[in-house]
Amino acid sequence: MKSDDPRKSLARDTVLAHGGRHPDDYGGAVNTPVVRASTILSPTLAAWDAKTRDMMAGVPGTYYGRFGTPTHRDLEDALTALEGAHRTALFPSGYAACAAAILSTTKAGGHVLLPDSVYFPVRKVASGLLAKMNVSCTFYDPAIGAGIEALLRPETDCVYMEAPGSLTFEMQDVPAITRVCRARGVLTALDNTWATPLYFRPIEHGVDMSVQAATKYVVGHSDAMLGYVACASSAVFDALARTSMDLGYSVSADDAFLGARGLRTMSVRLERQGRTGLALAELFAQQPEVEKVLHPARPDFPGHDLWKRDFSGTSGLFGVVFRPMSRARFAVFVDTLEHFGIGASWGGYESLVMPMNPKPLRTATAWPHEGPCLRVHAGLEDEGDLVADLVHAFAVMRALP
Ligand SMILES: *Cc1c(COP(=O)(O)O)cnc(C)c1O
Protein backbone atom coordinates (compact mmCIF):
# COMPACT_ATOMS: atom_id res chain seq x y z
CA MET A 1 0.00 0.00 0.00
CA LYS A 2 1.20 3.51 -0.78
CA SER A 3 2.12 5.62 2.24
CA ASP A 4 -0.38 8.34 1.26
CA ASP A 5 -3.26 5.84 1.46
CA PRO A 6 -5.40 6.89 4.44
CA ARG A 7 -6.18 3.25 5.25
CA LYS A 8 -2.58 2.75 6.33
CA SER A 9 -3.40 4.18 9.75
CA LEU A 10 -6.50 2.00 10.34
CA ALA A 11 -6.40 -0.73 12.95
CA ARG A 12 -6.26 -4.25 11.57
CA ASP A 13 -9.78 -5.17 12.70
CA THR A 14 -11.18 -2.25 10.73
CA VAL A 15 -9.21 -3.31 7.66
CA LEU A 16 -10.68 -6.81 8.08
CA ALA A 17 -14.20 -5.38 8.09
CA HIS A 18 -13.82 -2.82 5.31
CA GLY A 19 -10.83 -3.79 3.16
CA GLY A 20 -11.59 -4.59 -0.48
CA ARG A 21 -15.33 -3.88 -0.35
CA HIS A 22 -17.17 -1.80 -2.96
CA PRO A 23 -20.93 -2.14 -2.33
CA ASP A 24 -21.72 0.69 -4.78
CA ASP A 25 -20.38 -1.47 -7.60
CA TYR A 26 -22.76 -4.32 -6.73
CA GLY A 27 -26.16 -2.69 -6.20
CA GLY A 28 -25.34 -2.00 -2.55
CA ALA A 29 -24.63 -5.63 -1.66
CA VAL A 30 -22.21 -5.67 1.28
CA ASN A 31 -19.95 -8.38 -0.15
CA THR A 32 -18.32 -8.54 -3.55
CA PRO A 33 -20.26 -11.36 -5.26
CA VAL A 34 -18.78 -14.44 -6.89
CA VAL A 35 -17.88 -13.29 -10.39
CA ARG A 36 -17.11 -16.40 -12.44
CA ALA A 37 -15.60 -15.76 -15.85
CA SER A 38 -13.31 -16.91 -18.58
CA THR A 39 -14.02 -14.27 -21.26
CA ILE A 40 -14.03 -10.65 -20.12
CA LEU A 41 -15.62 -8.48 -22.83
CA SER A 42 -14.37 -5.09 -24.02
CA PRO A 43 -17.05 -2.76 -25.44
CA THR A 44 -14.82 -1.18 -28.12
CA LEU A 45 -11.49 -1.57 -29.83
CA ALA A 46 -10.17 1.41 -27.86
CA ALA A 47 -11.18 -0.27 -24.59
CA TRP A 48 -9.52 -3.50 -25.74
CA ASP A 49 -6.32 -1.62 -26.61
CA ALA A 50 -6.29 0.17 -23.23
CA LYS A 51 -6.86 -3.09 -21.40
CA THR A 52 -4.06 -4.80 -23.32
CA ARG A 53 -1.69 -1.94 -22.49
CA ASP A 54 -2.60 -2.10 -18.80
CA MET A 55 -2.21 -5.86 -18.67
CA MET A 56 1.26 -5.66 -20.25
CA ALA A 57 2.20 -2.94 -17.74
CA GLY A 58 0.98 -5.04 -14.79
CA VAL A 59 -1.82 -2.64 -13.82
CA PRO A 60 -4.35 -4.44 -11.56
CA GLY A 61 -7.54 -5.17 -13.47
CA THR A 62 -9.70 -7.88 -14.97
CA TYR A 63 -8.39 -9.02 -18.33
CA TYR A 64 -9.14 -12.70 -18.64
CA GLY A 65 -10.64 -15.22 -16.25
CA ARG A 66 -7.36 -16.96 -15.52
CA PHE A 67 -5.95 -13.72 -14.10
CA GLY A 68 -8.96 -13.17 -11.84
CA THR A 69 -12.18 -11.16 -11.64
CA PRO A 70 -13.40 -8.46 -9.22
CA THR A 71 -13.91 -11.22 -6.63
CA HIS A 72 -10.17 -11.90 -6.69
CA ARG A 73 -9.08 -8.24 -6.99
CA ASP A 74 -11.12 -7.15 -3.96
CA LEU A 75 -9.71 -9.96 -1.81
CA GLU A 76 -6.17 -9.14 -2.96
CA ASP A 77 -6.73 -5.47 -2.05
CA ALA A 78 -7.97 -6.36 1.43
CA LEU A 79 -4.92 -8.60 1.98
CA THR A 80 -2.55 -5.92 0.65
CA ALA A 81 -3.96 -3.44 3.18
CA LEU A 82 -3.75 -5.97 6.00
CA GLU A 83 -0.14 -6.90 5.19
CA GLY A 84 1.04 -3.34 4.54
CA ALA A 85 2.23 -4.66 1.18
CA HIS A 86 2.74 -3.22 -2.29
CA ARG A 87 0.53 -5.86 -3.92
CA THR A 88 -0.76 -9.40 -3.35
CA ALA A 89 -1.22 -12.40 -5.64
CA LEU A 90 -3.62 -15.27 -4.90
CA PHE A 91 -2.71 -18.91 -5.47
CA PRO A 92 -4.84 -22.06 -5.70
CA SER A 93 -3.31 -23.46 -2.48
CA GLY A 94 -0.94 -22.48 0.28
CA TYR A 95 1.68 -24.82 -1.11
CA ALA A 96 1.40 -23.25 -4.59
CA ALA A 97 2.08 -19.87 -2.95
CA CYS A 98 5.16 -21.21 -1.09
CA ALA A 99 6.62 -22.84 -4.21
CA ALA A 100 5.91 -19.86 -6.48
CA ALA A 101 7.54 -17.45 -4.01
CA ILE A 102 10.74 -19.51 -4.09
CA LEU A 103 10.65 -20.14 -7.84
CA SER A 104 10.16 -16.43 -8.58
CA THR A 105 13.53 -15.61 -7.01
CA THR A 106 15.79 -18.20 -8.54
CA LYS A 107 17.19 -19.59 -11.80
CA ALA A 108 19.50 -22.36 -13.00
CA GLY A 109 22.75 -22.25 -11.02
CA GLY A 110 21.08 -20.44 -8.13
CA HIS A 111 20.99 -21.30 -4.45
CA VAL A 112 18.17 -21.22 -1.90
CA LEU A 113 18.24 -21.53 1.89
CA LEU A 114 15.38 -23.34 3.65
CA PRO A 115 14.83 -23.80 7.40
CA ASP A 116 15.05 -27.37 8.69
CA SER A 117 11.57 -26.95 10.17
CA VAL A 118 9.99 -25.99 6.83
CA TYR A 119 6.55 -27.33 5.82
CA PHE A 120 7.33 -30.78 4.46
CA PRO A 121 6.12 -30.37 0.83
CA VAL A 122 8.35 -27.28 0.57
CA ARG A 123 11.28 -29.41 1.74
CA LYS A 124 10.48 -31.80 -1.13
CA VAL A 125 10.67 -28.97 -3.67
CA ALA A 126 14.42 -28.83 -2.94
CA SER A 127 15.07 -32.40 -4.08
CA GLY A 128 12.40 -32.18 -6.82
CA LEU A 129 11.68 -29.12 -8.92
CA LEU A 130 14.67 -27.04 -7.78
CA ALA A 131 17.13 -29.89 -8.28
CA LYS A 132 15.76 -30.37 -11.81
CA MET A 133 16.40 -26.67 -12.47
CA ASN A 134 19.96 -27.05 -11.16
CA VAL A 135 19.20 -24.85 -8.15
CA SER A 136 20.93 -26.05 -4.99
CA CYS A 137 19.40 -25.87 -1.52
CA THR A 138 20.88 -25.71 1.94
CA PHE A 139 18.78 -26.51 4.99
CA TYR A 140 19.64 -24.40 8.03
CA ASP A 141 18.96 -24.51 11.77
CA PRO A 142 15.91 -22.26 12.27
CA ALA A 143 17.63 -20.79 15.36
CA ILE A 144 20.49 -19.49 13.19
CA GLY A 145 19.55 -15.77 13.31
CA ALA A 146 22.27 -13.44 11.96
CA GLY A 147 24.50 -16.52 11.56
CA ILE A 148 22.69 -17.02 8.23
CA GLU A 149 25.40 -14.79 6.73
CA ALA A 150 27.92 -17.65 6.83
CA LEU A 151 25.62 -19.75 4.59
CA LEU A 152 25.12 -17.10 1.90
CA ARG A 153 26.97 -17.69 -1.35
CA PRO A 154 27.49 -15.34 -4.29
CA GLU A 155 24.76 -17.27 -6.12
CA THR A 156 22.24 -17.29 -3.22
CA ASP A 157 18.92 -15.93 -4.48
CA CYS A 158 16.57 -16.45 -1.58
CA VAL A 159 16.41 -17.12 2.14
CA TYR A 160 13.10 -18.75 2.95
CA MET A 161 11.74 -18.71 6.51
CA GLU A 162 8.82 -20.18 8.37
CA ALA A 163 8.10 -19.12 11.95
CA PRO A 164 7.07 -20.93 13.98
CA GLY A 165 8.25 -23.99 12.03
CA SER A 166 5.90 -26.74 10.88
CA LEU A 167 5.30 -29.52 13.46
CA THR A 168 8.07 -28.42 15.85
CA PHE A 169 7.29 -24.68 16.20
CA GLU A 170 10.86 -23.30 16.28
CA MET A 171 10.88 -19.51 16.20
CA GLN A 172 13.19 -17.53 13.91
CA ASP A 173 14.88 -14.17 14.44
CA VAL A 174 13.28 -12.65 11.35
CA PRO A 175 14.67 -9.08 11.64
CA ALA A 176 18.22 -10.42 12.17
CA ILE A 177 17.92 -12.54 9.02
CA THR A 178 16.31 -9.85 6.84
CA ARG A 179 18.96 -7.31 7.93
CA VAL A 180 21.73 -9.60 6.66
CA CYS A 181 19.84 -10.43 3.46
CA ARG A 182 18.98 -6.80 2.62
CA ALA A 183 22.66 -5.87 3.01
CA ARG A 184 23.66 -8.70 0.66
CA GLY A 185 20.88 -8.19 -1.89
CA VAL A 186 19.28 -11.57 -1.17
CA LEU A 187 15.48 -11.83 -1.26
CA THR A 188 13.52 -13.23 1.66
CA ALA A 189 10.18 -15.03 1.93
CA LEU A 190 8.39 -16.05 5.11
CA ASP A 191 5.57 -18.54 5.58
CA ASN A 192 3.46 -16.66 8.13
CA THR A 193 0.51 -19.06 8.26
CA TRP A 194 0.66 -19.66 12.04
CA ALA A 195 0.52 -16.01 13.13
CA THR A 196 -1.38 -14.54 10.16
CA PRO A 197 -0.79 -10.83 9.45
CA LEU A 198 -2.89 -10.09 12.56
CA TYR A 199 -0.16 -11.26 14.93
CA PHE A 200 3.00 -10.80 12.87
CA ARG A 201 3.56 -8.51 9.90
CA PRO A 202 6.50 -9.87 7.90
CA ILE A 203 6.88 -6.85 5.62
CA GLU A 204 7.34 -4.53 8.62
CA HIS A 205 10.21 -6.82 9.64
CA GLY A 206 12.01 -6.51 6.32
CA VAL A 207 10.61 -9.59 4.55
CA ASP A 208 10.11 -9.28 0.76
CA MET A 209 7.34 -11.88 0.42
CA SER A 210 4.77 -12.70 3.08
CA VAL A 211 3.38 -16.13 2.25
CA GLN A 212 0.12 -17.42 3.69
CA ALA A 213 -1.67 -20.75 3.43
CA ALA A 214 -5.05 -18.97 3.43
CA THR A 215 -6.61 -22.44 3.52
CA LYS A 216 -6.02 -22.27 7.26
CA TYR A 217 -7.13 -19.21 9.27
CA VAL A 218 -8.19 -16.92 6.40
CA VAL A 219 -10.73 -19.34 4.91
CA GLY A 220 -11.24 -20.59 8.46
CA HIS A 221 -13.99 -23.13 7.81
CA SER A 222 -12.13 -26.15 6.36
CA ASP A 223 -13.93 -25.85 3.04
CA ALA A 224 -11.52 -24.33 0.48
CA MET A 225 -7.88 -24.38 -0.63
CA LEU A 226 -6.26 -20.96 -1.07
CA GLY A 227 -2.87 -19.28 -0.78
CA TYR A 228 -1.41 -15.85 -1.28
CA VAL A 229 1.88 -13.99 -1.43
CA ALA A 230 1.94 -10.33 -0.33
CA CYS A 231 4.92 -8.51 -1.84
CA ALA A 232 6.90 -5.61 -0.39
CA SER A 233 7.84 -4.02 -3.74
CA SER A 234 6.83 -3.86 -7.39
CA ALA A 235 10.02 -5.63 -8.50
CA VAL A 236 9.26 -8.59 -6.22
CA PHE A 237 5.60 -8.64 -7.25
CA ASP A 238 6.40 -8.50 -10.98
CA ALA A 239 8.71 -11.53 -10.73
CA LEU A 240 6.11 -13.42 -8.71
CA ALA A 241 3.27 -12.55 -11.12
CA ARG A 242 5.46 -13.66 -14.04
CA THR A 243 6.08 -17.03 -12.34
CA SER A 244 2.38 -17.45 -11.61
CA MET A 245 1.52 -16.70 -15.24
CA ASP A 246 4.23 -19.05 -16.52
CA LEU A 247 2.77 -21.86 -14.43
CA GLY A 248 -0.82 -21.01 -15.34
CA TYR A 249 -2.08 -20.72 -11.78
CA SER A 250 -5.71 -19.74 -11.48
CA VAL A 251 -7.97 -19.47 -8.42
CA SER A 252 -11.67 -20.24 -8.59
CA ALA A 253 -13.89 -17.22 -7.86
CA ASP A 254 -15.87 -19.36 -5.42
CA ASP A 255 -12.73 -20.04 -3.39
CA ALA A 256 -11.68 -16.36 -3.48
CA PHE A 257 -15.16 -15.52 -2.18
CA LEU A 258 -14.74 -18.00 0.68
CA GLY A 259 -11.37 -16.42 1.47
CA ALA A 260 -12.95 -12.95 1.69
CA ARG A 261 -15.84 -14.30 3.73
CA GLY A 262 -13.47 -15.94 6.22
CA LEU A 263 -11.24 -12.88 6.43
CA ARG A 264 -14.01 -10.73 7.92
CA THR A 265 -14.19 -12.83 11.11
CA MET A 266 -10.57 -13.95 11.33
CA SER A 267 -9.70 -11.67 14.24
CA VAL A 268 -12.43 -12.90 16.61
CA ARG A 269 -11.80 -16.52 15.67
CA LEU A 270 -8.07 -16.24 16.27
CA GLU A 271 -8.53 -14.48 19.58
CA ARG A 272 -10.72 -17.30 20.90
CA GLN A 273 -8.67 -20.10 19.34
CA GLY A 274 -5.44 -18.67 20.71
CA ARG A 275 -6.92 -18.50 24.21
CA THR A 276 -8.37 -22.01 24.07
CA GLY A 277 -5.09 -23.32 22.64
CA LEU A 278 -3.14 -21.94 25.61
CA ALA A 279 -5.58 -23.58 28.04
CA LEU A 280 -5.24 -26.93 26.28
CA ALA A 281 -1.44 -26.57 26.17
CA GLU A 282 -1.39 -25.95 29.94
CA LEU A 283 -3.49 -29.06 30.53
CA PHE A 284 -1.11 -31.19 28.44
CA ALA A 285 1.91 -29.71 30.27
CA GLN A 286 0.50 -30.89 33.62
CA GLN A 287 0.19 -34.56 32.61
CA PRO A 288 2.97 -36.97 33.69
CA GLU A 289 2.79 -38.72 30.27
CA VAL A 290 3.79 -35.47 28.51
CA GLU A 291 7.50 -34.71 28.10
CA LYS A 292 7.21 -31.34 26.40
CA VAL A 293 4.69 -28.87 25.01
CA LEU A 294 5.76 -26.98 21.88
CA HIS A 295 4.05 -23.59 22.07
CA PRO A 296 5.87 -20.30 21.32
CA ALA A 297 3.57 -18.33 23.66
CA ARG A 298 4.58 -20.44 26.69
CA PRO A 299 7.52 -19.02 28.65
CA ASP A 300 9.27 -22.41 28.88
CA PHE A 301 9.55 -22.73 25.08
CA PRO A 302 12.90 -21.90 23.45
CA GLY A 303 12.22 -18.96 21.16
CA HIS A 304 9.54 -17.57 23.47
CA ASP A 305 11.56 -14.35 23.77
CA LEU A 306 11.42 -13.87 19.98
CA TRP A 307 7.67 -14.47 20.03
CA LYS A 308 7.29 -11.91 22.79
CA ARG A 309 9.45 -9.38 21.01
CA ASP A 310 7.96 -9.63 17.51
CA PHE A 311 4.46 -11.17 17.71
CA SER A 312 1.31 -9.58 19.10
CA GLY A 313 -0.72 -12.72 19.71
CA THR A 314 -0.99 -16.47 19.41
CA SER A 315 -3.07 -18.71 17.18
CA GLY A 316 -4.45 -22.05 18.32
CA LEU A 317 -1.91 -24.56 16.97
CA PHE A 318 0.78 -26.24 19.08
CA GLY A 319 2.65 -29.50 19.57
CA VAL A 320 2.82 -32.12 22.33
CA VAL A 321 5.68 -34.58 22.85
CA PHE A 322 4.66 -37.61 24.90
CA ARG A 323 7.10 -39.72 26.92
CA PRO A 324 7.94 -42.94 25.07
CA MET A 325 5.00 -45.36 25.12
CA SER A 326 3.65 -48.15 22.96
CA ARG A 327 1.74 -47.27 19.79
CA ALA A 328 -1.22 -49.17 21.23
CA ARG A 329 -1.26 -47.00 24.35
CA PHE A 330 -0.96 -43.83 22.29
CA ALA A 331 -3.78 -45.09 20.05
CA VAL A 332 -6.09 -45.46 23.07
CA PHE A 333 -5.50 -41.79 23.96
CA VAL A 334 -6.08 -40.54 20.40
CA ASP A 335 -9.05 -42.80 19.68
CA THR A 336 -10.80 -41.93 22.95
CA LEU A 337 -10.99 -38.23 22.03
CA GLU A 338 -14.48 -37.23 20.97
CA HIS A 339 -14.21 -33.57 20.01
CA PHE A 340 -10.83 -33.68 18.25
CA GLY A 341 -10.87 -35.02 14.72
CA ILE A 342 -7.77 -36.83 13.45
CA GLY A 343 -6.60 -34.98 10.38
CA ALA A 344 -4.18 -32.75 8.50
CA SER A 345 -4.66 -29.06 7.82
CA TRP A 346 -5.91 -26.69 10.54
CA GLY A 347 -7.27 -23.17 10.99
CA GLY A 348 -10.92 -24.21 10.75
CA TYR A 349 -13.55 -23.83 13.46
CA GLU A 350 -13.14 -27.42 14.64
CA SER A 351 -10.53 -28.97 16.91
CA LEU A 352 -8.04 -31.47 15.51
CA VAL A 353 -5.15 -33.67 16.49
CA MET A 354 -2.55 -34.94 14.03
CA PRO A 355 -0.01 -37.62 15.01
CA MET A 356 3.46 -36.62 13.81
CA ASN A 357 7.05 -37.81 13.76
CA PRO A 358 9.50 -34.97 13.05
CA LYS A 359 12.63 -37.16 13.36
CA PRO A 360 13.04 -38.34 9.73
CA LEU A 361 12.17 -34.87 8.40
CA ARG A 362 15.20 -33.09 9.87
CA THR A 363 18.69 -32.93 8.33
CA ALA A 364 20.33 -29.76 9.73
CA THR A 365 19.18 -30.34 13.30
CA ALA A 366 18.47 -33.46 15.37
CA TRP A 367 15.05 -34.17 16.88
CA PRO A 368 15.98 -35.31 20.41
CA HIS A 369 12.71 -36.96 21.46
CA GLU A 370 11.71 -40.62 21.19
CA GLY A 371 8.08 -40.52 22.27
CA PRO A 372 5.04 -40.08 20.03
CA CYS A 373 3.95 -36.53 19.16
CA LEU A 374 0.66 -34.83 18.43
CA ARG A 375 -0.07 -31.54 16.74
CA VAL A 376 -3.13 -30.01 18.40
CA HIS A 377 -5.45 -27.44 16.86
CA ALA A 378 -7.90 -25.63 19.14
CA GLY A 379 -11.24 -25.01 17.47
CA LEU A 380 -14.18 -22.86 18.50
CA GLU A 381 -15.85 -25.47 20.72
CA ASP A 382 -16.43 -24.70 24.39
CA GLU A 383 -13.08 -24.74 26.20
CA GLY A 384 -14.51 -26.72 29.15
CA ASP A 385 -15.79 -29.46 26.84
CA LEU A 386 -12.39 -29.74 25.14
CA VAL A 387 -10.53 -29.88 28.45
CA ALA A 388 -12.94 -32.52 29.77
CA ASP A 389 -12.41 -34.57 26.60
CA LEU A 390 -8.61 -34.51 27.10
CA VAL A 391 -8.87 -35.28 30.84
CA HIS A 392 -11.11 -38.25 30.02
CA ALA A 393 -8.72 -39.58 27.34
CA PHE A 394 -5.76 -39.32 29.74
CA ALA A 395 -7.76 -41.20 32.40
CA VAL A 396 -8.71 -43.99 29.97
CA MET A 397 -5.09 -44.33 28.85
CA ARG A 398 -3.87 -44.32 32.46
CA ALA A 399 -6.27 -47.13 33.39
CA LEU A 400 -4.61 -49.45 30.87
CA PRO A 401 -2.50 -52.22 32.41
C1 LIG B 1 -0.94 -26.13 5.28
C2 LIG B 1 0.30 -25.35 5.15
C3 LIG B 1 0.79 -25.00 3.90
C4 LIG B 1 0.16 -25.45 2.62
O5 LIG B 1 -1.13 -24.96 2.45
P6 LIG B 1 -2.19 -25.75 1.53
O7 LIG B 1 -3.26 -24.76 1.32
O8 LIG B 1 -2.59 -26.95 2.32
O9 LIG B 1 -1.48 -26.10 0.26
C10 LIG B 1 1.93 -24.22 3.85
N11 LIG B 1 2.56 -23.84 4.96
C12 LIG B 1 2.12 -24.15 6.19
C13 LIG B 1 2.85 -23.69 7.39
C14 LIG B 1 0.98 -24.93 6.33
O15 LIG B 1 0.55 -25.29 7.54
**Which of 216, 269, 292, 375 is an active site residue?**
216
Residue 364 CA to ligand 1 centre (angstroms): 22
Q: What are phi and psi of 318, to 5 degrees?
A: -155, 175
Residue 322 CA to ligand 1 centre (angstroms): 25
- Provide the pLDDT for residue 118: 97
Per-residue model confidence as pLDDT tens digits over 19-62:
999 999 999 999 999 999 999 999 999 999 999 999 999 898 89
Residue 5 CA to ligand 1 centre (angstroms): 31
Residue closest via CA to ligand 1's atom 7 equals 94
Among 90, 95, 376, residue to substitute to test ligand 1 (most atoms within 8 Å of Cβ): 95
Whether 6 shows a pLDDT value over 80: the answer reads no
Percent of the chain with pLDDT over 90: 96
Active site residue 173: no
- Provide the pLDDT for residue 5: 60
**Atom in ligand 1 nearest the alpha carbon of residue 215:** 7
Active site residue 191: yes
Per-residue model confidence as pLDDT tens digits over 355-364:
999 999 999 9
Among 166, 211, 228, residue to substitute to test ligand 1 (most atoms within 8 Å of Cβ): 166
Q: Which CATH superfamily is domain 267-398 in?
A: Aspartate Aminotransferase, domain 1 (3.90.1150.10)
Residue closest via CA to ligand 1's atom 5 equals 94
pLDDT confidence band for 1 (50 / 70 / 90): very low
**Atom in ligand 1 nearest the alpha carbon of residue 213:** 5
pLDDT confidence band for 74 (50 / 70 / 90): very high
pLDDT confidence band for 10 (50 / 70 / 90): confident
Among 98, 118, 162, residue to substitute to test ligand 1 (most atoms within 8 Å of Cβ): 98
For residues 326 and 126, give the distance between their C-alpha atoms in angstroms, rounded to a whole number. 34
Whether 135 shows a pLDDT value over 50: the answer reads yes
Percent of the chain with pLDDT over 70: 98
- Provide the pLDDT for residue 2: 46
For residues 272 and 381, give the distance between their C-alpha atoms in angstroms, rounded to a whole number. 10
Residue 167 CA to ligand 1 centre (angstroms): 12
What CATH architecture does domain 11-263 belong to?
3-Layer(aba) Sandwich (3.40)
**Atom in ligand 1 nearest the alpha carbon of residue 227:** 7
- Provide the pLDDT for residue 174: 98
Among 114, 171, 196, 215, residue to substitute to test ligand 1 (most atoms within 8 Å of Cβ): 215
Per-residue model confidence as pLDDT tens digits over 373-392:
999 999 999 999 999 999 99
**Which of 8, 36, 53, 66 is an active site residue?**
66
For residues 240 and 105, give the distance between their C-alpha atoms in angstroms, rounded to a whole number. 8
Query: What are the structural domain ranges in the chain?
Result: 11-263, 267-398
Q: What are phi and psi of 84, to 5 degrees?
A: 60, 40
- Provide the pLDDT for residue 313: 98
Residue 193 CA to ligand 1 centre (angstroms): 7
Per-residue model confidence as pLDDT tens digits over 285-328:
999 999 999 999 999 999 999 999 999 999 999 999 999 999 99
CB-based contacts of 210-215 (< 8 A; 24+ apart in sequence): 210/83, 210/85, 211/94, 211/97, 211/98, 211/101, 212/79, 212/94, 212/97, 213/93, 213/94, 213/95, 213/97, 213/98, 213/347, 214/90, 214/94, 214/259, 214/262, 215/93, 215/94, 215/345, 215/347
Residue 98 CA to ligand 1 centre (angstroms): 8
Ligand 1, pocket residues at CB < 6 Å:
93-95, 98, 119, 162, 166, 191, 193, 213, 215-216, 225, 227, 345
Going by their DSSP bridges, the two strands 136-140 and 111-115 should be labelled as: parallel
Predicted TM-score (pTM) above 0.75 = yes
Whether 7 shows a pLDDT value over 90: the answer reads no
Residue 120 CA to ligand 1 centre (angstroms): 9
